[in-house]
Amino acid sequence: MIREAGLMRRRYGYYWTKLIGIPLLIIGTIVVFVMIGDTWWQLLTAVVFGILFAQVAFLGHDAAHRQIFVSGKANDWASLIIGDLFIGMSYGWWRHKHTRHHANPNKVGEDPDIELPVIAVTAERAGRIKNRLMRWVVAHQGAFFFPILPLEGLSLHASSVRRVLARDRVERRWVEITLLAVRLIGFGVLVFLVLSPGVAVAFLAVQLGVFGFYMGASFAPNHKGMPIVSKDATLDFLRRQVLTSRNIRGSRLLDVAMGGLNYQIEHHLFPSMPRPHLRRAAHIVAEYCRERGIPYTSVGLISSYRTVVAYINRVGLGERDPFECPLLAQRRTL
């Protein structure tokens, strides 16, 4: 049905516009940054850079999923250049991690996206934490969720550097090291050449914070708070992808803002589907699931964040909700 609707065909015009337009936009922003010079107004420029880098990351995500070109090699190199050179994120590290996630979303022991360093997404993960301070943090993680999202940008850079410098075998190691060095060191040097030290530090903090918050806020609603699959559970492909994913409904502006990630169900079912086709595919998939009695989750953005925060708060408290009446909880269980 999807193929007959033409939703798997390439959208070269759409993607070439982005492949040419976004780098030009970044170059233009760098020129403006240099022309403005040393002033605290540059913090606004830092916000622009944070948003631009997130949009570039969405484009790299599309290339990594073979959405842009027919050739796998062309998509790989596009992802490598976009990820390492423009974002400062190792394509090899991200591909390894993201492939495992797509194969087994929300499955304990298989999906790396539910084994986060700070936020506990499963009761098992929360129970393994022994450090008293970390246990306190996890118990209050619902309140900390949004405040720690700005650190996601720093975490992505750090994980990428660790990956390319690790002793394990890394494909195209020196290409990645070179591109990452140009992006991370080169951008930092440029900032300190144009700005005084204090303003430069603030600029980098804002840019990283906006980038991290944007990325985290775009990825968080996709699976957090959806069913967790146990290690021994076996699900067919359709249910494995649909039951653990959540769509975010909204306008085409939201589609652009979230880089198509708001159609998470369709993306997981058809990873190589070009981003512009996801909206049309959603209607087909939703109807297909309804006919077969398979729950298809599609909610508003604010509602999704409420669900995510409530879920991780329950996990951090050992599945206890401090605002729930015990008698009502018991009645619900019965």
Strand partners, 233: none
Tens-place pLDDT, residues 323-333: 444 445 444 43
Q: To which H or E segment does residue 298 belong?
A: strand 298-299
Q: Count the domains in the chain.
A: 1
Q: How many percent of the chain have pLDDT more than 90?
A: 71
Q: For residues 242 and 123, which has the higher predicted lDDT (pLDDT)?
A: 242
Report if residue 194 sits inside a domain.
Answer: yes
Give the C-alpha separation, 162 to 158, whole Å.
6
Count CB-CB contacts under 10 A for residue 74.
13
* Residue 323 is assigned to a structural domain of this protein: no
Question: Would you say residue 331 lies in a domain?
Answer: no
Structure-token pair, residue 323: 């605002």
Q: Can you give the pLDDT at residue 200?
A: 97
Q: Does residue 126 lie in a domain region? A: yes
What pLDDT digit, counting tens, does each position of 22-45 carry? 989 999 999 999 999 999 999 999
3-state secondary structure of 327: helix
Residue 119: the pLDDT is 79
Of residues 46 and 314, the one with the higher pLDDT is 46
Checking if the pLDDT of 319 tops 50, the result is: yes
Output the DSSP codes for 127-179.
Answer: HT---HHHHHHHHTHHHHHHHHGGGHHHHHHHHHHHHHHSSS--TTHHHHHHH
Mean of the per-residue pLDDT values of the chain: 90
Residue 330's pLDDT is: 41
Could you read off the pLDDT of 166-205 as tens digits, one per residue?
Answer: 888 888 899 999 999 999 999 999 999 999 999 999 999 9
Mean pLDDT, residues 142-170: 88
- Looking at the domain assignment, is residue 326 inside a domain? no
Q: Identify whether 226 is part of a domain.
A: yes
C-alpha angle with apex 89: 172 to 254, nearest 5 degrees? 130
Residue 246, domain member (yes or no): yes
Say if CB 120 and CB 130 are below 8 A apart: no
Q: How far is CA 49 from the centre of its chain?
A: 17
Residues facing 177 on adjacent strands? none
Alpha helices in the chain (DSSP H): 12-36, 42-64, 72-80, 91-103, 123-127, 132-139, 141-148, 152-165, 173-194, 197-219, 237-242, 252-257, 264-269, 278-291, 301-316, 326-333
- Per-residue pLDDT, averaged over 296-305, amounts to 94
pLDDT at 217: 93
42 burial type by CB count under 10 A (0-12 exposed, 13-18 middle, 19+ buried): buried
The total of other beta-carbon atoms located within 10 Å of residue 31's CB is: 10
Asked, for residue 139, whether it belongs to a domain, the answer is yes
How does pLDDT run across 224-276, given as a tens digit for each residue? 989 989 888 889 999 999 999 999 999 999 999 999 999 999 999 999 999 99
Provide the domain limits for residue 191: 12-316
Q: What is the pTM of this model?
A: 0.89
How far is residue 279's CA from residue 273's CA, in Å, rounded to a whole number? 11
